Amino acid sequence: ALYLIATNGTPALQHPEKLSIEFTDFLKKCLEVDPDRRPTATELLRHPFITRAHSVRTLSPLIKAAKESQRH
């Protein structure tokens, strides 16, 4: 994926208005092509998007409900 981004540029997100500012910032940092500017894995693990995340157990019912609502 980073090769494609390096050659074609970072792809535009579909429906960015549906994404949180923290998630958008996290993605931007993860997809930084320049390795000198890209955060390390340790730095990314300290990003607010990760540190404020809820456990999978908490999110699982919300994900199921979202998928179910898309079916109708």
Report the candidate in 25, 59, 17 with the shortest Cα–Cα distance to residue 44: 25
Q: What is the pLDDT of residues 19-47, one digit of tens each?
A: 999 999 999 999 888 889 999 999 999 99
More reliable by pLDDT, 59 or 21: 21
Q: Which residues of 6-18 are buried (b: 16+ CB within 10 A; e: fewer)?
A: eeeeeeeeeeeee
**% the chain with pLDDT above 70:** 96
| pLDDT for residue 14 is more than 70 | yes
How many structural domains comprise the chain? 1
User: What is the rounded CA–CA span in Å between residue 46 and residue 6?
Assistant: 25
Domain with 15, as residue range(s), is: 2-71
Residue type, 48: P
CATH code for position 21 = 1.10.510.10
For residue 2, the model assigns a pLDDT of 65
